[in-house]
């Protein structure tokens, strides 16, 4: 097992049902224990409660759970204990929580969108700084939403843009970036490095 003094950051991207959460969990199982699993989902209805239960059942019982909808780095800092690996699932719901915490539809969407992008990027920077500063293995799951249709509502477009910017911010800082396609992980940073060097 490896111990990275500066911390190691991995971003796992994918669409819905691409296998990204399962792959991220496999990475965490091979990383340094103990593992802290950070869940950003909210049990807003019965269907979501059922989804959360399925995810919980799939995780090793030795993993500790931290549930937080926003300010993830601060929550981890306050509750990290002896954890060496932090798995955040997922950045998409974190950004969604930021969007839904503000009245985007009723206000100036351009101003609100800029503020939300800044807030999402601040969340990412705080997580990166925490991982680097404490030497954690940080694994973050997120959705790649830029390949779908343009959302029909201002709220949907604001979410897509804020998450896209947050993904870029995290990918730039990450040591590894994987894109899951039909359950198959593609090492995006490795491919990019080969293209530059080749």
Active-site residue numbers?
55
Beta-ladder partners of 64: 36
DSSP letter at 84?
S
The tokens for 2 are 């490896």
User: Is the sign of the CA dihedral 132, 94, 57, 64 positive or negative?
Assistant: positive
User: Is the sign of the CA dihedral 144, 72, 185, 62 positive or negative?
Assistant: negative
CB 144 within 8 A of CB 167: yes
CB 108 within 8 A of CB 158: no
Query: 1-6: long-range contacts (C-beta < 8 A, 24 or more apart)?
Result: 1/30, 1/31, 1/32, 2/31, 2/32, 3/32, 3/84, 3/135, 4/135, 4/137, 5/135, 6/132, 6/135
């Amino acid at each position: 097992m490896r111990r990275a003094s500066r911390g190691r950051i991995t971003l796992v991207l994918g669409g819905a049902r691409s296998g990204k959460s399962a792959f991220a969990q496999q990475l965490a199982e091979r990383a340094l224990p103990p593992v802290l699993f950070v869940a950003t989902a909210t049990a807003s209805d019965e269907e979501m409660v059922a989804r959360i239960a399925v995810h919980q059942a799939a995780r090793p019982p030795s993993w500790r759970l931290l549930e937080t909808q926003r300010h993830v780095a601060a929550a981890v800092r306050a509750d990290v204990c002896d954890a060496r690996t932090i798995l955040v699932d997922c950045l998409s719901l974190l950004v969604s929580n930021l969007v839904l915490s503000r009245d985007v539809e009723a206000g100036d969407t351009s101003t609100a969108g800029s503020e939300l992008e800044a807030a999402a990027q601040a969340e990412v920077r705080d997580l990166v700084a925490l991982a680097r500063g404490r030497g954690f293995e940080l694994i973050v799951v997120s959705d790649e939403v830029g390949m779908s249709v343009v959302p029909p509502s201002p709220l949907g477009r604001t979410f897509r843009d804020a998450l896209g910017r947050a993904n870029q911010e995290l990918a730039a800082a990450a040591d590894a970036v994987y894109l899951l396609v039909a359950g198959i992980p593609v090492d995006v940073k490795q491919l990019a490095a080969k293209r530059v060097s080749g």
